[in-house]
Structure 1
């Protein structure tokens, strides 16, 4: 602050920042500044159950969240691969069904129901893992479980014995039945792994509870 004395009056030269603040009328009292700071802090305050502040007190919470994100990403990738394998298996079953119809064979209603249920579960499961919809994934588990039961019923209906597989001559005559039985058995294993993976994915997609 500079003072210029004259014969009649004294001129006080204030710093530029203070003069600009006085001109704009933004100088506030300490109490008003404190109130504004409290309002800003309340606006930045997170919702209940979430970490507050960046002072390191929420480190364990953030580590849990980061770990869950990684597990969800890995689970979705694994489920996507299993659904793709199931789709190939069910397409093979559809081809076998069409060939059986073209040969005039009697189609088992269990085979048709198993194939339809499997395709429905694959569509719902793919939508669930793409959009991270827990309800779709739960329905996928239900439909996949129903498809597993139908596949077991279809496998029990296959007229195939161990002697037929070991006998070379009978094996040539029943190669389609052997392939179908192998397809159903492999599909069962893949579906069981898919159901287990989906259950783990749903568990990791649920929001974690922050411990006090």
Structure 2
């Protein structure tokens, strides 16, 4: 049995001239991987905001007040959109991500309609800061929740649109 040859020098066939023939990963795939990771972070934040919205929606029910139909439907629609968006992100389905974008925007619009119906923003703006915190804590928290929901929704939508664009195959011109 002969001893193995030492690995001195370069193996045959790899003198460096084959560099131009090596496979290169298209930048779309790295953009998709980064977009999926970023969208996962936004889904986590949206889930936390959704839990806050659920608590704010259920508080009047616990006190025996009338339930807010817009608030409850917004929470349900947000939950469904997160499920659809997570399926689309994990399975790389652009159709699910498009449905997520539509339902998420509808949920945010329902949440804004709820805020406009109850005049939360106007009451928060008109009251004094010191008196407002003491008297209207819940309305101030609801207004901050809606602003947070809208801002996270905008960032998630732009990331989702970028991800959908990078997932779709490039257009070939003939």
Q: Same fold, TM exceeding 0.5?
A: yes
Counterpart of 2:126 in structure 1 is 163
Identify which of structures 1 and 2 has the higher relative contact order when contacts are C-alpha pairs closer than 8 Å and 6+ apart: 2
What residue ranges of structure 2 are gaps of 5+ in the alignment?
A: 1-17
2:108 to 148, 166, 173: 148
Change (3 A) 1:55 1:163: closer
Counterpart of 2:142 in structure 1 is 180
**1:164-188 C-alpha deviation (Å, 9 max, x unpaired):** 2x24234212101110110011101
Give the Å deviation of 1:210: 5.8
Larger Rg: 1
Give the Å deviation of 1:163: 2.5
Counterpart of 2:167 in structure 1 is 205
**CA contact under 8 A between 1:158 and 1:177: conserved in structure 2?**
no
**CA contact under 8 A between 1:90 and 1:115: conserved in structure 2?**
yes
Give the Å deviation of 1:99: 1.8
Mapping for residues 8-157 of structure 1, pairs under 5 Å: 56=20, 66-157=26-117
**CA contact under 8 A between 2:35 and 2:162: conserved in structure 1?**
yes
Q: Which whole-Å CA distance do the structure 1 matches of 2:117 and 2:133 have between them? A: 18
What residue ranges of structure 1 are gaps of 5+ in the alignment?
A: 1-53
Q: Which whole-Å CA distance do the structure 2 matches of 1:177 and 1:97 have between them? A: 12
So what's the TM-score if we normalise by structure 1? 0.66
1:195 corresponds to 2:162: no
Give the Å deviation of 1:158: 3.2
Provide the aligned C-alpha RMSD in A: 2.2
Size of the alignment, in residue pairs?
154
Q: Which whole-Å CA distance do the structure 2 matches of 1:140 and 1:114 have between them? A: 14
